[in-house]
Amino acid sequence: MEAYIVEWLNLLGRWVHMITGIAWIGASFYFVWLDNHLHAPKDPADAEKGIGGEVWSLHGGGFYHAQKYKVAPAKLPEVLHWFKWEAYTTWMTGMFMLALIYWYSAEIYLIDPGVADISKSFAVLMGILTLVTGWLVYDYLCKSPLGQDDKKLGAAIFVFVTIMAFILTHLFSGRGAFIHFGAMLGTIMAANVYFIIMPGQQKMVEAAAIGELPDPKAAMNAKQRSVHNTYFTLPVLFTMISNHYAMTYSSSWNWLVLILISIAGALIRIYFVKRHFGEPSKTPLYIAGAIFLAIIIAMAPSPAPKPTADATAPVTNTAAAPVNTAAQGTYSPTFLAVQGIMQARCTSCHAAQPTQAGFSAPPKGVVFDTPRDIVIQATQIHQQTVATKAMPIGNLTKMTDEERAVIAQWYQSGAQEK
């Protein structure tokens, strides 16, 4: 029952997180577009009122006329819409998901003894410290003298996140490292809104209410953090979906893959921002494409390793369960060995009724209960257990290299039952 409840919490939390994330990112992208499409007002009266730019748009069967003041209107409107709860709710639901999946079940999703043999409590503590450290160091860099030079600040932030990517991938499992890297950036983005952008806007409103000019420094700081947020967005979105693609986080160079894809995401965002400015150069897109191509080529799977033992012989040094079938003679010895490995190492999760704590249903609906189930999933079995070694997750069931070699030989020989 506990696993069933957790599964529902997972579903509902993920759904709300996705909805609020769409609202936050959509509003953020829209205002970046809006700022970069403003034209000087054509009506002299508007310019006299302090309007610095305007834009006309058409959407949903209606015309819209948006205007932006250089500083603030002479009189504040009765209703002023703020954009903040989208960011806060996205962060809160993201933290709920992080705690529910990666901290509550750290022994499954966060810890990989092959990377670092750490305790659950230590792993969770390090996860929390990652978020806190990420914000404190980033905020310090922005407030330091480096913050006065966007290029130097950008370089410093890049060095910092690269170091964090390296540390995380050498402390947590690949998927745990990737999601914590994204959670760190997401925390920075939400903290920018809460600690910098919103207070800066509040000061602007307070100054306008008493007829004073707002402090331009607060506006400049808020603008700088908003720009950072828009460039962090695509890397964060990548980490959110990365757990579905073991080829990225299971690589021995996963920290570099993470950083390169993050760079590519930022470059794609740069292209769109420049396009808003009327600078249609596709150079950032070409560079991003080249990065992805280089990653794809570098990560192409090498030929499967040759088995170190005869796959037709009984598999030694394993906890493989005996295959319960009334007609073993109709199956090849190689397949029987593979089936035994699946039963011992994989069916605790990938069965109609999983026995592994924390699973109320087989992940992605994949089961290995019958010989046919195994044959149908042969390609995925080879990809996940041999090519990337991403499975068993965290190697909870301790699949050996010998067993992976047996699977490789079976797959190379045609992945047949008989």
Give me 36's structure tokens: 């970069």
d(Cα 32, Cα 88) in Å, to the nearest integer? 19
* Collapsed DSSP state (helix, strand, coil) of residue 59: strand
Give me 187's structure tokens: 């925390």
| Vertex 342: Cα angle to 338 and 348 (nearest 5) | 170
pLDDT value of position 164: 98
**What separation in angstroms does the CA of 231 have from each of 34, 39, 269, 367?**
17, 24, 6, 40
Q: What is the dihedral of CA 21, 26, 29, 33, to 10 degrees?
A: -170
Mean pLDDT of the chain: 90
d(Cα 324, Cα 342) in Å, to the nearest integer? 12
Instruction: Give the CA count within 13 Å in the CB-facing half-sphere of 11.
Output: 8
Closest among 47, 88, 95, 93 to 67, alpha carbons compared: 47
Give first-to-last CA distance, the chain, whole Å: 39
Give residue-wise pLDDT tens across range 347-401: 999 999 999 888 888 888 899 999 999 999 999 899 899 988 889 988 889 999 9
Confidence of residue 328 (pLDDT cuts 50, 70, 90): low
d(Cα 218, Cα 198) in Å, to the nearest integer? 10
62 forms bridges with which residues in the sheet?
59
User: What's the burial of 241, exposed, middle or buried (CB within 10 Å: 0-12/13-18/19+)?
Assistant: exposed
d(Cα 378, Cα 81) in Å, to the nearest integer? 54
Confidence of residue 329 (pLDDT cuts 50, 70, 90): low
Which pTM does this prediction carry? 0.86
Note if the bond before 392 is cis, omega within 30 degrees: yes
Closest among 272, 231, 237, 235 to 257, alpha carbons compared: 235
Give residue-wise pLDDT tens across range 3-26: 889 889 999 999 999 999 999 999
Q: Are 162 and 253 in contact (CB under 8 A)?
A: no
The predicted model gives 37-66 an average pLDDT of: 94
Token pair 């913050």 is at which residue? 147
d(Cα 179, Cα 169) in Å, to the nearest integer? 11
**What separation in angstroms does the CA of 253 have from each of 111, 166, 249, 258, 283?**
18, 9, 8, 9, 26
pLDDT value of position 310: 47
